[in-house]
């Protein structure tokens, strides 16, 4: 089995999906000969040509809006937005149409669309290239939102997203693109949308994370293991719909929970997950749920990035507080 | 505007030959009368509180009906909220239009190739481009046509859609009904450009101005644009010049922003039904007395449709949850259970 990083896993999945289904298309800025700014579509243009690997005009609403029409019309488009910070002109298409057309048409029209985009910070990118805007999307009925944190999940979730009959937003944590390799099987396999993954089993506290924050959570959990504290890391993988069962099961077991995300705190998903814990595991809680998040400031230029991003120190402090009885 | 003459088939200023058979012209006329009668009836129903806010197409019947007659059933119709006339011709029964006006999600029917009417302005134009590209990719002899108004040309998605259509040579028709008004704002506040059609030049697509109250001219212009699209000639922006003689919707009071004198020509000599009626009388296939009979038949037919629609079971709560995703996720099932007051599986 091949040892792949996340970019290679996504690239492999795209090649396989293109070969298996002639309806599958990729469209976006620089996805063609350039292979995407992160090289996720490397080689795809040479193999499948410009009618399926489509360099578009530089217009996010146009990309997503046109992809909606292609999806309704029988194709399986994958739209790429170059960075999540540039998604905002396309949000209207997601809010007003992609998430509503099935319901508004009483299912006469469906939108089997995938919108991929690199997201998140931590790589010293230029301003506005590091946003984590997932909460806008999870708040929108009709959309599904997934975030792999490993190469294996990236491939399996991309298969699931392309085969899904509903619009799926596919967030790719930039920091994880080339951070580590793992065995990724050849050929088709899916990671089901809506299922979290226990990235590390533990008994004393649940750390809930997604994307690049899962990497941080695992590092910190490892550190605590040497001190005799067993931390469970729950990698959500899907943010809409949230795997409520998995959250409830883990927190009911450990009785303590810290949620970590890069996005700003107010209105961030940690609040929603906390509410789900109130519904599913309140009577098992031994301490208040804590959250470690980005701050309620615009994602800063990179000189301030280390202040903004949740790190081991902040996470450790929250864990110490949560472990107090 | 010599470069942008107004394409006309009927009347003294006609500059194009008529290619529409008398039989087809009569069918278009009958549907225009039906649409006018439907709009008048639905306005009445709204005043009686039997339907909700409604956007009539009074005065725009030639563009609505004439354009849709130029389509094939394989074509995708991508409408805005005032386009129930075109949807009707494309195969959506008026019962569905009434349902939509009654606040129900029923604006489509069967396997008619149409999207639900877009409520936000011009955001549906890129969908038409995508649908057109999908038809081309799958080798179908079909186009997509987007309906929108003069106000829609100010939106960013108008630019993005026409730009994509130009780049990809998509077989799409952009039908802009320039009815003079975006609610209370005149077209002079939408653009500094002398015409809307000339915007096509910047996108490398075809543009044409057509008399939007000349049903035969609209039919021919859309038919030509469709044929151009199917033969690889790319997209067309059609500016159909018409006039909204009614309110924007039933929630609007046009006396606040325009005088009744403005309406005189549009309700008189320029009325699209009057104009096509005169033409058909000249052709000897319509007598003046036929109009009364046609209107009575239309009223009877619409009354039956209204009764049938009102006899349908009322909206039920489950419908609101059942059609959001291909499979209802657990959180929606829980919320439906909560609404229906049954056992709450999330707290049991």
- The interface predicted TM-score (ipTM) is 0.96
Candidate list B124, B127, B209, B248, residue with the active-site label:
B248
B44-61 mean pLDDT: 93
Provide, as residue numbers in chain A, all residues whose Cβ is less than 8 Å from the Cβ of B78.
Answer: 69
Provide, as residue numbers in chain B, all residues whose Cβ is less than 8 Å from the Cβ of A105.
Answer: 105, 107-108, 115-116
Provide the pLDDT for residue B344: 60
| Most B-contacting residue of A65, A76, A81, A272 (CB-CB within 10 A), to test interface | A65
Provide the pLDDT for residue A165: 98
How many residues are there in chain B? 348
Nearest to B134 among A59, A75, A245 (CB): A75
- Average pLDDT over chain B reads 93
Q: Does the beta-carbon distance from A241 to B144 stay under 8 Å?
A: no
Q: In the beta sheet, which residues pair with residue A25?
A: A77
Q: Label residue B106 by pLDDT band (50, 70, 90).
A: low
Q: Is B244 a catalytic residue?
A: yes
Residue B169 confidence (pLDDT) above 90 = yes
Q: Does the beta-carbon distance from A73 to B130 stay under 8 Å?
A: yes
Give Cα B151 distance to the centre of its chain: 15
Q: Does the beta-carbon distance from B129 to A65 stay under 8 Å?
A: yes
Nearest to A106 among B134, B157, B323 (CB): B323
| Residue A226, C-beta contacts closer than 8 angstroms, at least 6 positions apart | none
**Which residues of A does the annotation mark as catalytic?**
129
Residues of chain A with CATH 3.40.50.970: 2-184
Residue B224 confidence (pLDDT) above 80 = yes
Spatial separation of the C-alpha atoms in residues B192 and B194, rounded to whole Å? 6
Nearest to B116 among A65, A66, A104 (CB): A104
Residue B345 confidence (pLDDT) above 70 = no
Q: Which of B237, B235, B240, B195 is nearest to B215 (CA)?
A: B240
Provide the pLDDT for residue B94: 84
CA distances, A149 to each of A175, A178, A217, A273, B133 (Å): 10, 11, 11, 19, 34
Q: Does the beta-carbon distance from A105 to B116 stay under 8 Å?
A: yes
Q: Which of B143, B155, B147 is nearest to B235 (CA)?
A: B143
Residue B105 confidence (pLDDT) above 80 = no
Provide the pLDDT for residue B346: 57
Does B106 or B11 have the greater pLDDT score?
Answer: B11
Provide, as residue numbers in chain B, all residues whose Cβ is less than 8 Å from the Cβ of A97.
Answer: 118, 123-124, 127
| Most B-contacting residue of A66, A166, A242 (CB-CB within 10 A), to test interface | A66
Candidate list B84, B90, B209, B244, residue with the active-site label:
B244
Tell me if B43 sits within 8 A of B76, measured CB to CB.
no
Q: Label residue B110 by pLDDT band (50, 70, 90).
A: confident
Residue B1 confidence (pLDDT) above 70 = no
Provide the pLDDT for residue A275: 97
Tell me if A308 sits within 8 A of A294, measured CB to CB.
yes
User: Domain locations in chain B?
Assistant: 6-315, 317-348
Q: Does the beta-carbon distance from B120 to A66 stay under 8 Å?
A: no
How many residues are there in chain A? 325
A311 touches chain B (CB under 8 A): no
A104 touches chain B (CB under 8 A): yes
Coil vs helix vs strand at A239: strand
Provide the pLDDT for residue B98: 85
Q: Does the beta-carbon distance from B329 to A66 stay under 8 Å?
A: no
Q: Does the beta-carbon distance from A244 to B331 stay under 8 Å?
A: yes
Instruction: Write out the CATH class of domain B6-315.
Output: alpha beta
Q: Label residue B348 by pLDDT band (50, 70, 90).
A: very low
Q: Which residue has the tokens 């940690």?
A: A270
pLDDT tens for each residue of B314-334: 889 999 999 999 999 999 999
Q: Which of residues 158-217 of A touch B (CB under 8 A)?
A: 164-166, 194
Tell me the H-state helices in chain B.
22-47, 61-69, 84-90, 94-101, 125-137, 156-168, 199-203, 215-230, 260-267, 272-282, 288-310, 317-322, 330-340
Provide, as residue numbers in chain B, all residues whose Cβ is less than 8 Å from the Cβ of A141.
Answer: 324
Q: Label residue B341 by pLDDT band (50, 70, 90).
A: confident
CA angle in degrees (0–180, nearest 5) for B17-B143-A164: 165
Q: In the beta sheet, which residues pair with residue A24?
A: A76
Spatial separation of the C-alpha atoms in residues B346 and B348, rounded to whole Å? 6
Residues of chain A with CATH 3.40.50.920: 197-323
Nearest to B161 among A62, A105, A280 (CB): A62
Q: Which two tokens stand for residue B142?
A: 């079909």
pLDDT tens for each residue of B230-252: 999 999 999 999 999 999 999 99
Provide the pLDDT for residue B206: 98
Nearest to B129 among A69, A97, A164 (CB): A69
CA angle in degrees (0–180, nearest 5) for A140-A236-A97: 20
Q: Which residue has the tokens 């995703």?
A: B325
Q: Does the beta-carbon distance from A104 to B128 stay under 8 Å?
A: no
Rounded to the nearest angstrom, the minimum Cα separation between A268 and chain B is: 19
Rounded to the nearest angstrom, the minimum Cα separation between A47 and chain B is: 18
Provide the pLDDT for residue B298: 86
Q: Which of residues 55-84 of A touch B (CB under 8 A)?
A: 56-57, 59, 61-62, 64-75, 77
Instruction: Write out the CATH class of domain A2-184.
Output: alpha beta
pLDDT tens for each residue of A71-129: 999 999 999 999 999 999 999 999 999 999 999 999 999 999 999 999 999 999 999 99
Give the count of beta carbons closer than 10 Å to the beta carbon of residue A127.
11
Q: Does domain A197-323 have CATH number 3.40.225.10?
A: no
Q: Which two tokens stand for residue B291?
A: 């109009």
Give chain A's residues under pLDDT 70.
Answer: none
Provide, as residue numbers in chain B, all residues whose Cβ is less than 8 Å from the Cβ of A56.
Answer: 164, 167
Q: Does the beta-carbon distance from A56 to B164 stay under 8 Å?
A: yes
Spatial separation of the C-alpha atoms in residues B245 and A6, rounded to whole Å? 59
Provide the pLDDT for residue A115: 98
Q: Which of residues 254-283 of A touch B (CB under 8 A)?
A: 279-280
Provide the pLDDT for residue A87: 98
């Amino acid at each position: 089995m091949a040892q792949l990083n996340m970019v290679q896993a996504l690239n492999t999945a795209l090649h396989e999906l293109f070969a298996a289904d002639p309806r599958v298309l990729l469209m976006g800025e620089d996805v063609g000969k350039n292979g995407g700014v992160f090289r996720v579509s490397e080689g795809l243009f040479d193999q499948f040509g410009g009618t399926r690997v489509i360099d578009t005009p530089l217009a996010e609403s146009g990309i997503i809006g046109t992809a909606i029409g292609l999806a309704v019309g029988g194709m399986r488009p994958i739209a790429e937005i170059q960075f999540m910070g540039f998604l905002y002109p396309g949000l209207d298409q997601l809010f007003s149409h992609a998430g509503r057309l099935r319901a508004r048409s009483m299912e006469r029209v469906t939108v089997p669309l995938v919108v991929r985009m690199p997201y998140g910070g931590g790589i010293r990118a230029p301003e506005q290239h590091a946003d984590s805007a997932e909460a806008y999307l999870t708040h929108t009925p009709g959309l599904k939102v997934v975030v792999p944190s490993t190469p294996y999940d990236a491939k399996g979730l991309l298969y699931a997203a392309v085969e899904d009959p509903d619009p799926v937003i596919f967030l790719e944590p930039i920091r994880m693109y080339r951070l580590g390799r793992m065995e990724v099987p050849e050929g088709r396999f899916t990671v089901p949308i809506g299922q979290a993954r226990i990235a590390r089993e533990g008994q004393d506290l649940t750390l809930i994370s997604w994307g690049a924050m899962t990497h941080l959570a695992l590092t910190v959990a490892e550190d605590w293991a040497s001190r005799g504290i067993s931390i469970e890391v729950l990698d959500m993988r899907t943010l809409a719909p949230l795997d409520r069962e998995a959250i409830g099961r883990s927190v009911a077991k450990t009785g303590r929970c810290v949620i970590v995300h890069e996005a700003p705190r107010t209105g961030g998903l940690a609040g929603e997950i906390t509410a789900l814990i109130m519904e599913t595991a309140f009577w098992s809680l031994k301490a208040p749920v804590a959250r470690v998040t980005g701050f309620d400031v615009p994602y800063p230029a990179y000189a301030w990035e280390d202040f903004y991003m949740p790190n081991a120190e902040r996470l450790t402090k929250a864990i110490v507080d949560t472990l107090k009885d | 505007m010599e470069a942008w003459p107004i394409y006309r088939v009927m009347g003294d200023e006609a500059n194009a030959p008529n290619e529409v058979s008398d039989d087809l012209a009569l069918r278009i006329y009958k549907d225009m009368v039906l649409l006018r009668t439907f709009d008048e009836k639905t306005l009445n129903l709204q005043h009686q509180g039997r339907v909700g806010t409604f956007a009539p197409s009074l005065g725009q019947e030639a563009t609505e009906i004439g354009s849709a007659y130029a389509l094939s059933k394989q074509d995708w119709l991508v409408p805005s909220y005032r386009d129930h006339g075109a949807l009707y011709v494309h195969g959506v029964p008026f019962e569905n239009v009434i349902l939509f006006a009654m606040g129900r999600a029923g604006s489509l029917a069967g396997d008619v190739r149409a999207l639900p009417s877009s409520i936000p302005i011009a955001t549906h134009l890129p969908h038409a481009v995508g649908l057109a590209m999908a038809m081309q990719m799958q080798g179908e002899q079909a186009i997509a046509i987007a309906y929108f108004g003069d106000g829609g040309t100010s939106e960013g998605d108008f630019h993005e859609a026409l730009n994509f259509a130009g780049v990809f040579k998509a077989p799409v028709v952009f039908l802009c009904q320039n009815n003079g008004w975006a609610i209370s704002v005149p077209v002079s506040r939408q653009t500094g450009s002398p015409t809307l059609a000339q915007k096509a030049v910047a996108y490398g697509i075809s543009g044409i101005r057509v008399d939007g109250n000349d049903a035969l001219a609209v039919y021919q212009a859309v038919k030509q644009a469709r044929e151009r699209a199917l033969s690889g000639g790319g997209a067309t922006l059609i500016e159909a010049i018409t006039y909204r003689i009614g309110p924007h919707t039933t929630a609007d009071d046009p006396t606040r922003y325009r005088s009744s004198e403005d309406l005189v020509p549009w309700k008189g000599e320029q009325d699209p039904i009057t104009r096509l009626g005169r033409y058909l009388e000249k052709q000897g296939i319509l007598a003046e007395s036929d109009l009364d009979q046609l209107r009575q038949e239309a009223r009877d037919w619409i009354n039956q449709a209204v009764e049938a629609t009102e006899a349908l079971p009322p909206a039920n709560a489950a419908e609101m949850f059942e059609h959001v995703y291909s499979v209802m996720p657990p959180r929606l099932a829980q919320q439906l259970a909560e609404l229906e007051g049954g056992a709450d599986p999330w707290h049991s």
